[in-house]
Every structure is written in C-alpha cells, then in structure tokens.
Chains A and B, each alone.
Chain A
Amino acid sequence: MAADKQYRVVGTRPIRHDGVDKVTGEARYGADIHLPGMLHGKVLRSPHAHARILRIDTSKAEAHPDVKAVITGVDLPQVADKVQDLGEMVVNLKDESNRILATGKVLYEGHPVAALAAADPHTAEEALKLIDVEYEPLQPVLDVRKAMEPDAPILNPNQRTSGIGAGDGKPSNLARHFRHERGDIERGFAEADAVIEREFITSMIHQGYIELQNGTAHITPDGRLTIWCSSQGAFSIRDQVANICNIPLSMIKVVPMEIGGGFGGKTGVYLEPLAALLAKKSRKPVKMTMTRAEVLTATGPTSGSYIKCKIGAKKDGTLTAAHVELYYEAGAFPGSPVGAASGTCLAPFKLDNVRIDGYDIVVNKPKTGAYRAPGATNAAFATEGVVSELADQIGMDPIEFRQKNAVQQGDRRADGPLFSKIGHVETLEATAESPHWNEPLEPSSDPAKKRGRGVASGFWFNGAGAATASISVFADGTVSLIEGSADIGGHRASCAMIAAEVLCLNAEDVKPQVGDTDSIGYTSVTGGSSATHKTGWATHEAALKVKAEVVNRAAKMLEVDPDEIEYHDDATLSAASKPDAKLTFAQVAARANSTGGPIVGEAGLSTGGAGNAFGTTIVDVEVDVETGKVDILRCTTVQDVGKAIHPSYVEGQMQGGAVQGIGWALSEEYVYSGEGRLLNASLLDYRMPTTLDAPLIETIMVEVANPAHPYGVRGVGEVPIVPPVAAIAEAIYNATGVRMYQAPMNPAYVLSRIQGKA
C-alpha cells in the first residue's frame, strides 16, 4: 500500500546517522555533561499534597561549608499572568513560575520549595535536610468529581471557572467547562434502536521515558546563560527560562543534548530555571538531575479521567447521536489535555448529532503534561468501548460497524472541522484483510485460561509548525545538515534522507545534527507528531536552494546558461550544448570557493497542513479467570502513516506506541494514599511493560499520502497509543464475557469483574 510517488532515498531503510554514537556510548545526553568546577543541585520538595508554607529557614543550609547557593520561591522574579504555547500544551506563566518553586502554598507532593547547590550530589542531597520548612497541612482533593463538589477544598482561591458556568464568581477547582455541539442529540437518541450509556475511569499515568530529567546551567560574568539539557525543543526551553527567570532570550543559549525519550513529557521546564538561578548565585556551573521518584511524583504525567459516554445506533449500524462528558485531572494547575480529548474522542465516526462537554479540573497532583496523543487514549477507551458494545448488541462485526460509520474527506469531525484527505477507511479495510483478523484464535488447553480478540480505532490530529534547516556543501561532495528539532525517535535520519533525495545523494552523504539555539533558526518543539512534517519540509526547501546554487555553479564551470543545466538522478550535471562535459556534484562542490563561495542553503518556515492520522489495533488476550491476570498473545497495529520516510522508524513508533498502550491498559497507574502521597514512585511498582509483557507487534503501514506536504508526510508517533486500551478491553470481554470500565484493567479489577463483585 504505497503512496503513489516513487523515490530514490525516501522510503528506504538506511542506518541512522546517530546510530554508531548510540551503540558505542559516545552519544551525549544531558546527564553526561561534566564541566570544570561544576556543582550539583538538588531540590527540596513538599511532602504534603496540599499545605500552606508558613516559614522557610535556609540559614543552616547556607552555613554548610560545601553548600554554595540556596534558593527559594522569593528568588524567582515576579512574572505576568500570561499564556505561552508549548506546542502540545498552553501554559500560564504565573502558574509555571509557581510550579518551578512554590510560594505561599504547595499543591502536590513533590512540589519544589527550595533548591541548593553543593560540591557533589550526595552532599547536596544531605544538605536539603538542613532546610527547615514549616507547613500548615490542608485537606487535599484528588478526584475530579470530589474536586467539583461545592464544599471541596479549593486549590487556588483566585481561580474562577471559565467558559460555561463562568460568572457565578465563586472560587472553583473547575478551571474550564466547554462544549462542542452539533445537531440535536435528543432527536438522535430517539431515532436509535440501541442506546448505551457507560462511565469510565482511568488513572493518572506517566510517560515513563528512561532518561531522568536533567539540566545544567552556566552563567558568564556578563550574564550570558548557557543551558545543556535533554528536551523536546531547545527553543521552547529557552523561551520558558527567559520568561520564568526574566532574562532576555538573546542572553540564553540552549544546547540540545541527546534526549532519552520524552513522549510529550519533556516539553516543559523543571530543573532548568533552578539550575540557572543556582548558577547565578554560585557563579559556578550547576548540574541537576532528578531521581526516578522525583520524575514520577513531580514531573508532568498525563491526566486521570472520569468519562461518561452515551451513544445511539440504528439496527443497521448507523450511529445516530453521541454525548460524551470528559472530566480530566489537570493536576495542580489548569491545563489538562481535555481539549484534545474532545477533538479526538468521536473523530473516527460520522455523526450529525453530537454533544461533547469538557471539564478541566485542578486536583492535588502534579501538573499534567503532554503524553503521546494527549487526552486521546482515555477518551477512546470510553467511546470505542461503547461503540464495541453497540456493535455487539445489534449483532454486527466490530470492523464492519466502524466501516459503516467511518469518516472520510469532506466529512465534519464531531467537534466541527472538516476532514481533508484522511485514511481511516483504508486502515479499516487493511485491518479487515489482515492476517491477524482472519486467523482464528485457538482456545487454550488450560480451562482456567480464556482467550479473546478485540479491535478498536483511534485518531490524532498531528502537528505542523515553525522549523529551520540549514545545509552546507562540503568540498568532497557530501553535505552537512543542521536542523532545529530535537530528535527523539530518529527524525534526524528522515531529514537527512529528504536532503539526499533532493540533491540525488546517498543518505550517508548527509551529516545531520541538531543545532543549538544560537546556531540555527527557531524551531518549535518536537511534539504533536510534527517534527518530520515541519523540519522535513524545511530541509526540503533548504536542499532545493542548494540544488539551485549547484546548478548555477555548474553553469559557471561549463560556461552555459543555468537554464541549460540538467541535474541528473545520479548527482551529475550536464548541459545539452556541452555533451562531453559532465560534472559531478562533488566536482562542483570542490570548486565552490572559486566559483562564488561556499554553497549553503537555509530555509525557515511555518508549515500548515498537518495530515490527520487514524490507527486501528487488533489484540488477542489470554485471561487467567482464577487470578485476573491478562496476557497479550498477539497484537497488530494498522495505521495511515502518510508517506513513511524511513519505514523502520515508522514501524518503531507504531510498536512503541502499542506497547505503551498495553502498559496503560493493564499495569500502569498512579496509586495515591488518601493524603495524596504517591505510593508507587518507583519503576518497581510503577509497572511498565517488560520484554515479557508484550509480544512481537505486527505493523501494517497504510500509506495515504498527505497532499499538503511535499513528501506526503503525516505524523506517526502518537496515534498508535490511542486504540490499544479500548482494544484490550474488548478482547477481555470476548474472552470472559465481562466489560471493562476502568484502566488499568489490573488483575484485582479483572477478577472482581469476572466474579461479579465490581
């Protein structure tokens, strides 16, 4: 299933350019920095989920001979109440400042209250015990429904509800209530032969990147700040630090180190502003890294949620109406991904009568961050779950049911926008034809083990944005490529392939690297599945400029008009009037300095036209009906990937997303005590899938090219996490006959459902 156009390099599988460094240990990640005279910073965090800070006494820590700087909330400049767009999330700067270092109140366990720097990390950690903080503990609120009750403890007395219900003037934990509405749902439900209404609960969960958050800062006496860190976007980190620390952005250089996974969780700053302030105070470089417990308690996991979903269908399978209510935990400050959830939850279905209510609710948990298709997985668990139940009730095959209602180009998405070219129908067809769907699932010989198969679909918008790429030609006929997108999953190789495609070189002839914020133009974060779309496009434009200049130089060398030059697929150039004089790209490159100077091409652009992605997952499970344990036997993920630039890394995104979905479905959850303490802040008890918890993941790439992109690129990273939770719930139902309304579907829950107790 290939996008129509044939390419030389695009669509092949070269070895990634940064690969050797990453298999030899040469690649340098943020925590690998060592600077002369470097100090180590550590953060003192709140042990309470909700408390007033009555007093902070840092004098003992300051008196410690090895402690070189101590900071608290008062060291942060006052910032304005204004919003900043982080690509996948929009944040308020005042909240951000408060999140970086608390003043007045702490709002979640792990909320930073002070930081210090000392000669080595152990000394720094021990010295934290010398800081005295007096708290007045307050009642925490941890659940979205409780947070909305009239007598709930209020996190922020200045917060009023915006959107629907605004204006009663009372402080509220409900930050925003919005509604998308089309048609007439009452009439739609009346037309239905079957209406199903269910409630779903999902736990807060974490991105689980293996690399811990880190940041190292150095300030020169004239005030120039350099930050080394692992993030999804160096420019965004620069801008956030500039805003929070009130430093002109031109005084800050952010050097992107290799990043050990982000999945949305490394778009916001955590340690960088603290390291900068400590570096300023101590006049030494300061390195900070989090422990795993800090990462789990105090970075930005994704929202837990409570979702009510009601959908109606006719006997022939036509959907008639849907009403979805999405209640999302924002964490300590507003800004859950409930908006994205509302746009994704019904996107696969053609529907004329829809109402979607979104509620963004603060609770005493860490401020949520983006996580792979933010908000979409929770919502799909609910909507796809009800759709599966409807299909089952009217006796229709679940794929056929989805095909019957599938959106296509020109249809309206449930929350309003019109779809451009999309491949949902094609992915469903590929799913129905897949080997997995057509091979029967053999029952287990063990009577305690029941097997079942499930299927579900999902949607993600995908992203575009500002990006810059710069290509310089080397004298030996190879080129360097500097681009601005942080490379999380191998997109640097894709950009190099695009440059090679344009210039008719081999992928290996392009040397890509990610530039720092002083050496390459602005590039927005690697998020929303945008990097290959936007930076690939910028690379394409930069390469076209190089190509044009190479043509000019060849014309000069051959003494012909540039229009006469033909640039051949093998990177040779010729002119019809000079049939014997053929030039190679390398020959032109070698003469560059004498034919007009170094050859460079640069492009900065803001792309639009992100192509939406649809995916469908098929999964087979085996349920031990005596213990409630669920094992995944087989999993196939089918996705419209637009054009796969480097298919291996597209498959990798699909497989990685699927297995994260398996973790979400079965074993990952934030377990809080009643006081709001996270009880499982370790990778022992925050259970991400191991090698033994996932099968090989079959992938089917459906290539419906995105007509708005020069190569047909759609983002690929996010949608594969959307369907698995719902697909697994459906598979468990088909194995056991009981429906699942909670994620994770951990053994205790599954067993209690099987035994009819929950």
Chain B
Amino acid sequence: MKDIEYAAPRSLDEAAAILNERGSRARPLAGGTDIIVQVREGCRDIDILVDVKKIPELSAVQFNRDEGLTLGAAVPCYQIYNNAEVAQAYPGLIDAAILIGAAQIQGRASFGGNLCNASPAADTICPLIVHSAVCSIYGPDGSRAVPVEEFCSAPGQTVLKQGEFLVSIALPPPKPSAAGRYLRFIPRNEMDIAVAGAAAYVELENGMIGSARVALAAVAPTPLFVAEIGERLAGQDITDETLREAGEIARAAARPIDDMRGTVEHRKELCAVLTRRALKGAIERAQENA
C-alpha cells in the first residue's frame, strides 16, 4: 500500500480545514470498508485519510417521531439496526443496513460512507432516496443541504466541493400507513455487490396508493430515482397489474451496462421483478402500519 498520512480531527472546522488544505489528496475515513481497500489496491490515489469518527456530529443518531431521524455520517450500520425505535420507524432503511457485508462490515460501515463512495450499486442510497432523505454538508463556507437523489454525480463522484464533507443525513418523520422496502439481487445470499436493487416507499390513502417513490441500484451511473413510477402509481388501486406496470416503467428507465456482475438484459429484467416485489413489500408493511 502506498504511504499515507492519517489525521483525526475532533471538530467540524478542524476537519474542513484539513480537507480544504489537502483538497483532492485528502479523503474522509469513516468505517473504512471501502476507502482502505481502494487506497490499498491503488484505485484511489490520495495522500491523507481524515478520520471523521471522532467528530461528535458525525457519530450521533437522533430520532424522535415528530422531527424524524438525523443520522451521523459515520454511524455504523449495526447502531442503526440495533436502535429499536429507528428500526421500527424505518424498516426500509434496515433492509439495507442488514445486508451490507456481514457482521464484521456492519460493525464499521456507515450509510454516510456508502453515500460518499457513490457506487451506483450502493445498497443504502436508494432506500435513502425513497425516504426523501437530505444530506447535510459542511465545508469552508459553512453548511448546505442536498437531497440524496442529487448527491451522487457519477460513479465514485459526488457534489461535494473542495473541503466539504458529509456530516449527517436527515429523514422526515415516519408517517402512518407508510413504509419502505429495499430488495437487491445478488448471486449468492450474502457478501455480494448488487447486480440490481430496488427501493420503494409507499404512502397509502384510503386503501389506495397515495404516493410512491422508487429508486434503482446498479442500473445507471448513479443510483436512479424513477419519478415516473410515483407519478403513475399516485391515486391507483393496489392491483397486481399496477405493480406490474410499475415494474415495466423501471425496466424501461434502467440504463445498465454489461459487466462481470451482470448483463444488460438480466439487469433490466431484475429491475422489473425487484420493483414489483419491493412495492409489494412496502405496501404490506404500510398496511400493517395503518
């Protein structure tokens, strides 16, 4: 592994100063499960890792049913699924938290890190998108907020500017008769990167679909929010046909590539199937949550 430096700032300003000074040669270190491998294998050329786990704002989980959830960017997955209140309020997030890596990875990996790694196949990003999550960013010019669906700009790239970093992710408060679901397809039953994934969030109204949001993983350069599905489903009855149509919209929206993890054809097919199944799962949860 190339020689690197390490810094562990204790405040937002201290971190912003280092990141600003070192620019693209610096990279925040949260759980490290992606960045350490990337530096070791020479796919990310940087000089310094800035450990952000000692900054209080990045390690906090705040939740109440009126204001929603604020998730520090470095909070590891296990702290999310082990938090009974959060798990109950956002089962669609927990779907992702429990399938990232295995126990060892879940002890370190964070939603924030997954988001900043900006892989199109990331498991947390689509669930965050459908839950209308918003990123809170800090940098030399202070704070700004960006919806998660606008955060990733290309594979491995985000809207973060020089010196900026992700502090936390905010989710709106949970609503009754609403729920999310995330499903991914992998060839094994664990430890794989998604060949394709679909997150769905549904709010029911009078037994019908009030509104819905669907996002797809691993089928475009960035996690793909498919607004047309929400438009098509709003106000619809819950029928197999509606769900099937949603799946077809997903299939059409997907712009996957052929790579060693999957083919275009298989990925498109999976989008249709997973979208239908994720919507169905979200609806069932929402019905239980009435």
Contact = CB atoms under 8 A, between A and B. Distances in A.
Is there direct touching of A and B in the complex, by C-beta distance under 8 Å? yes
A720 B265 CA distance: 35
A692 B188 contact: yes
Nearest to B41: A293
Nearest to B192: A687
Leading 10 A-B pairs by shortest Cβ distance? A692-B189, A748-B266, A671-B260, A679-B260, A626-B273, A690-B190, A692-B190, A667-B187, A680-B260, A693-B188
Given A125-B1, A627-B273, A680-B260, A752 B188 contact: no
A534 B265 CA distance: 53
Nearest to A691: B190
Interface in A207-237: none
A238 B193 CA distance: 42
A122 interface: yes
Interface in B175-189: 185, 187-189
A746 interface: yes
B191 A690 contact: yes
Given A126-B2, A671-B260, A679-B260, A629 B187 contact: yes
A122 B190 contact: no
Nearest to A631: B189
12 contacts: A627-B185, A627-B270, A631-B189, A690-B189, A690-B191, A692-B190, A746-B187, A747-B187, A747-B195, A748-B263, A748-B265, A752-B266
A666 B192 CA distance: 14
A71 B192 CA distance: 39
A14 B260 CA distance: 46
A689 interface: yes
Nearest to A671: B260
B269 interface: yes
Interface of A: 122, 125-126, 293, 626-629, 631, 666-667, 671, 679-680, 684-685, 687, 689-693, 746-748, 751-752, 757
Given A126-B3, A748-B262, A751-B269, A687 B189 contact: no
Contacts of B266: 628, 747-748, 751-752
B183 to A, nearest CB: 10
Contacts of B190: 690-693
Given A122-B1, A126-B3, A684-B193, A689 B265 contact: no
Main SS class of interface, B: loop
Contacts of B102: 690
A687 B261 CA distance: 11
Given A122-B3, A126-B3, A629 B192 contact: no
Contacts of B269: 626-627, 751
Nearest to A748: B266
Contacts of B185: 627, 629, 747
A140 B228 CA distance: 46
Contacts of B195: 747
Interface of B: 1-3, 41, 102, 185, 187-193, 195, 259-263, 265-266, 269-270, 273
Contact of B187 (A122, A687, A752): A687
Given A748-B262, A751-B269, A752-B265, A667 B1 contact: no
Nearest to B189: A692
Contacts of A628: 266
A687 B195 CA distance: 13
A236 B102 CA distance: 39
Given A626-B269, A671-B260, A693-B188, 12 more contacts: A122-B3, A627-B269, A627-B273, A631-B189, A679-B259, A684-B192, A685-B261, A687-B188, A690-B102, A690-B188, A690-B190, A748-B262
Contacts of A685: 193, 260-261
Contacts of B2: 126
Contacts of B189: 631, 690, 692-693
A512 to B, nearest CB: 34
A668 to B, nearest CB: 10
Nearest to A687: B188
Contacts of A757: 265
Contacts of A746: 187
Contacts of A626: 269, 273
A631 B266 CA distance: 18
B3 A689 contact: no
Contacts of B270: 627
A627 B263 CA distance: 12
A352 B21 CA distance: 80
Contacts of B263: 748
A496 B195 CA distance: 49
A667 B3 contact: no
A757 B269 CA distance: 13
A693 B270 CA distance: 20
A460 to B, nearest CB: 27
Contacts of A667: 187-188
A747 B188 CA distance: 10
A378 B60 CA distance: 53
B285 to A, nearest CB: 18
Nearest to A448: B273
Contacts of A693: 188-190
B280 to A, nearest CB: 12
Contacts of B260: 671, 679-680, 685
